[in-house]
Structure formats: C-alpha cells, structure tokens
Amino acid sequence: MTFARALATSLLLLVFATPSAHARDLQMVTAQTKAAAGGAALDRLNAIRLTYRLRQAGLEGTGTTLTDVMTGRTVTRFKLGPMSGAEGFDGRRTWFQDTAGIVTVPEGGDRRAQAVSAQYRNALAYWYPARTGPARIGFRIQLFRSRIKEALEVAPQGGLPFELWFDAQTKMLDRVIEVGATETRTTSYEDYRPTGGLLIAHRIRSSNAAAAFGTERVVTKVELNPVVADADFAVPPPPKPDFAFGRGARKSVQPFRFVNNHIYVDVKLNGRPFALLLDTGASNVITPTVARALRLRPVGDARVWGSGDASEAAAFARIDTVATGNVRFRNQLFAVVPLESLSEIEGVPFHGMIGYELFKRLVAKIDYDAHTVTLSDPAAWAPDGVGVPIPFVFNGTVPEIEGAIDGIEAAFDIDTGSRMSVGLYGPFVLRHGLRGRFTPSIETVTGWGLGGPSRGTVARVRRVRLGTIAINDVVVDMSRQTQGVLSHTAPSGSIGSGLLKRFRVTFDYPHQRIYLAPAARTHERDAYDRSGLWINQARGGFQVVDVVERSPAALAGLREGDTITAVDGAAASSMSLGIVRDRLRDGAPGTEIRLTILRERHIQVVALRLRDLF
C-alpha cells in the first residue's frame, strides 16, 4: 500500500467515525445495497429455495435450502458421499438430523445466540428490521485485497455479533464474518446472477480458520416465492429404531475395563472384536488400522480437533453391523482418524471411540464400582431409584449441565472421555481470574488426546456444584491451551470420569436427563498424581514426558526423555501403564518408590517419595 493510499484510508475512517456521519452513511449503505440486490423485487420476496451442488471435506453431493425470509425460518437437506442429513430453524429452535435420521436440538454453548443471529440474516433484517428483534448496527470502511468494503457491524439482541461486508463498488454482499465460541466462520458470496429481478449469488463458500473445513455450494436452481408451510421447518419425528436387543431382551449388561479414568467396552464391528473408548464427548471413530482390518474404503478429507493444539485428518466409512453386549446396530457411519499413537498414552491398543450415536438411542447406566455398563431400550426403561436427576441441553452432540465452581456460575459439558475431574476452559479461567484465586497449584501436562498433549494449571477447589449436587474438595485443571476444544469460550469447561466415577451415572438422552446416584467413592477426597510425572508407554518401558517443578520426581533427578525400565525392581515390561499411573496417584504420602531409569545409554536407580503436590 502506498503512503497516499494509507493516508486516504485513514481519513475515510476518521470521517466515518463521527456520530452524525455514522447515521447518514449507515442509512445510505443499507439503501444502496438493498437497491443493488433487487430493490422493489425484494419487497415482493416471501421465500426462496436454492438447489446446489455441494462440496465439503473432500466429498461431493447435493443439497437444497428453503428460507422463509419473512420470519427467518430455514431448512437444509443434503446428501454428501456416505452421509445425508438435515438442519433447520422452526422460528424458535435450531435442530439437526444425522445420517441415521436421529434429531438433536442443540441449545448449549452459544447455540441459542447462533440461532438468533442466523434468523436475523435469513430474514434480511438489516434491510427489514421489523422482521426480527432489535440489533445494534455499526459501520466502518474496510480495505480488503485492494478493494473497499462497507462493513456493517451487527449485534442482534441475544445473538452473536457478526459483520456484513458489502463491496463498495457493486454494493453486493461480499461476506459474512461471525466469531463464535468454537470458531470464526466466514461465508463469502460470489458469481451473482439475475433471477426474477433479484441478483442471487451462485457460489457460496463457508470456512473457518482451517481450509479443510470449507464448504462450497454451487447453485443450480433458484425458486422464488415457493409455497411454504410450518411443517417444512418443524423438528422431524424420530426415525424407526435401527438397533435390536437379542433374544427378546430390553436391556444389556456388559463389563468394561477402566484404564486411566477411561471406559473401554468390547464392540464387534462386522463381527470382529475391538475395544472402543466409551466417550460422551465424541462420535463414532475408528482408526485406519481397524478400517484396513475390516477392508473398508474410507472416503473424504476432513480435519477434526480435540483437546490439543493440533488437528487430525479424517475420512468416513460405513460399518454394516455394530454389536456391543446384547445390542446390535445396523449400517453405522464412522469417522476414520489416525489415532493409533494414543496406544502409547493409554498403554492399551487404541482402536477408536463410540459415543453420541449409542447414547442417543439408548439409556446408559455406568457403574464405576462394578465396572459395568447397562444399556436399556428407552421404551422399556423408567427412572425409578436411579439417582438425582440433572437436566441437560445439547452442546452440539454433548450433554451440557448447569453448575458452579466455588460459587461461580458455570456450564459444563459431561465428557466420559476426559480423565480429569473438572477441566476449565482457558477463556473462563481468564475471565474470572481463577489462577490467582485457586492456590496452591502446579503447572503440568494434564491430558493427551486428539491433537496431542494439553497443559494446564492444576489446583483444588472447595466445592463444585452439578445441578443440585455439591461435591467438596475437587481437583480442577485450568487449561492453558490456545487451540482446540479447551480454548472454547463456551461452555465454562467439562466434567470428566475423574469426578463421575464417584457416582453411578445414568444417561437418558431421549429425555435430556443425567442421574447421579451415590457410590462407594462418593465422599472420597479427589486424588491426583503425587509424583510429578507424566509418563507414556515406550519401547523398553515408560517414557518421562513431563516433570513438575519441585515435585518428588524433580527432586529425585528425573528428566524429560528418561525411560523407566523398572519400578521397585519389577520390570516395566511386566506392568501396565495404567497400573503404574494409579500407583503414583493413589500411593500414600510418604511412600518411597524406586525407579530404574535409562538415560543416554546409562542405567541408574532413583528414589522418589510421594506427597501431595498442592
């Protein structure tokens, strides 16, 4: 940019910053952009249906979107590779329908605010403000790729703020930018063509910060003022069950293995047995190793995020039969994600996860003491004597409950895939100054999952409230992640199996209730590692990945990169990673543990004495 252009742009910004100019120019921009898009023809528009070719995640398909511009109601239906589904807004609720026809109404996180802002845009309320609730609108000039954009900064009451960028020359909508709790999404509009007196964008691209998440719609047909009915936008009815219990049963009880505060259940995929992580925070996932064993042909090229900073590639495949315990599911969609490296973190072969798709169909009771999962047909189940009910809303596909932490109101995702008791997301921690409030504390690796390791500040809090249930003396992880799930601005955090294992937990997704019943560990003090080590499985033993400063491990001289080859004289090869981690966590303060370590080809023995770290 030349100095003259920079100076001219600065002067423009100064001019538009004056209050009187702001009102005049905002009115002028809205009038000019409406006239360019169709003017009087827009006044006659009641509804519009777009049919298009769809490209997303390396897949191709088709879709249709019907919008009632008088109310902002909308419905989209699509087919994309092995997937199909729908999503809509009925004027009050947003809903989505997955590839099996199962419907979810998400109201957690910032979903309600998203719906308010989407309704505002769908109703063209920046031109017709009486169609929706009020909004504050600001205006500025934006230079973008050597072109001037006239940007409206819109903040609907109860919605997410967003920006509408209009090209200063053509006056046509160029892009919409919205910053949400989980991502910043940009939708651009191109290739405008005349249709019935209107100019309609025939190429619409949506993306967030990662290009692999992008969606492209190429419009092939435009229908103006189609007849619409309430039923077009209504939440669809539930589909016919795609599962069955064997031998006339209505429930199934099966054991699970509890490793690193994670639940592993045996699942047969097309008749072959695999151990899958039971995770309320995830959808169905298998590794490429499993896909090859089943001779599947995954398609697509997407990216998925987890708790760490990095993302992973993902493809998709269908599995004909999925059986766990006495329940069999038909024709299930799985993401295929390269998560084999989690075997080193878990200490057991990692084959994948099963979550939302199971919980949405069945009532699931997890008995952490007995190490059993009971799956029940919702039609034959009653909540008699199963514990205290806690209502939840869906944050996407994850249950979210209301609660508090040391008196601070909070909202928590319930995530059986998290090993921690309570994980607090970075923005919530910063907003309430929790690192200064919750002391003493330590800085350490607190987890390891999709996206790599996650770091945080770990401390104890006096009380955590989940619904009406209060739990005292709880360990919390205050995330320091700047990417991934733990950096989201909503909800406040998550509740993991570290805390859930104190109860018998029943998930009733059909009625959006979680029930907590007392168990053997309900009143136990929350335990946390007493060594200051994070160790992973490695060739020849356990690799030291992180050492907490001034911890027993640090005082004993352990370093990152050391390999533990024996524990109290027993070869590491004869012990599981989970057992060693449990020993370092649950061993009584004052217990001495002797570790044989390999460092730069030299063997040495060190002794550490366990103690509480905070």
Closest by Cα among 547, 551, 568 to 611: 551
Q: pLDDT of 228-265, one tens digit each?
A: 999 999 999 999 999 999 988 999 999 999 999 999 99
Interatomic CA distance for residues 82 and 355, integer angstroms = 19
pLDDT for the residue 312 = 83
Whether the Cβ atoms of residue 207 and residue 193 lie closer than 8 Å to each other: no
The per-residue pLDDT for 309 is 64
Long-range contacts of 85-94 (CB under 8 A, 24+ apart): 86/236, 88/233, 88/235, 89/115, 89/118, 89/119, 89/122, 89/233, 90/230, 90/233, 90/234, 90/235, 91/119, 91/233, 93/235, 94/118
Specify the residue for token string 């937990």. 505
The secondary structure element, H or E, covering residue 114 is helix 111-122
Joined tokens for residue 581: 């981690």
Are 336 and 286 in contact by the 8 Å Cβ rule? The answer is yes
pLDDT of residue 248: 87
- Domains of the chain listed by start with CATH number: 3-233 (2.50.20.10), 243-378 (2.40.70.10), 385-498+508-516 (2.40.70.10), 533-609 (2.30.42.10)
**Predicted pLDDT of residue 22:** 62
Residue 304 has what pLDDT?
Answer: 80
Cα 187 from Cα 115, distance rounded (Å) = 16
Judged by DSSP in three states, 407 sits in coil
Which tokens is 308 given? 């760490």
Residues of the chain with pLDDT under 70: 1-23, 209-213, 306-310
Q: Pinpoint the alpha helices (H) of 380-454.
A: 426-431, 434-437
CA–CA separation, 138 and 26 (whole Å): 8
pLDDT digits (tens, 9 = 90+) for 196-220: 999 999 999 998 854 445 899 999 9
614 CB-near residues (< 8 Å, 6+ apart) = 439, 440, 441, 442, 458, 459, 460, 528
In degrees and rounded to multiples of 5, residue 178 shows phi and psi of -130, 130
Continuous segment of H or E residues that includes residue 292: helix 288-293
pLDDT at position 440: 97
523: exposed, middle or buried (C-beta count within 10 Å: 0-12, 13-18, 19+)? exposed
**DSSP β-ladder status, 327-336 and 285-286:** parallel
Query: What is the rounded distance in angstroms from the CA atom of residue 437 to the CA atom of residue 435?
Result: 5
For residue 13, what pLDDT is reported? Answer: 33
Q: DSSP of 504-542, one letter per residue?
A: EEEEEGGGTEEEEEE-TTTTSPPP--SS-EEEEEETTEE
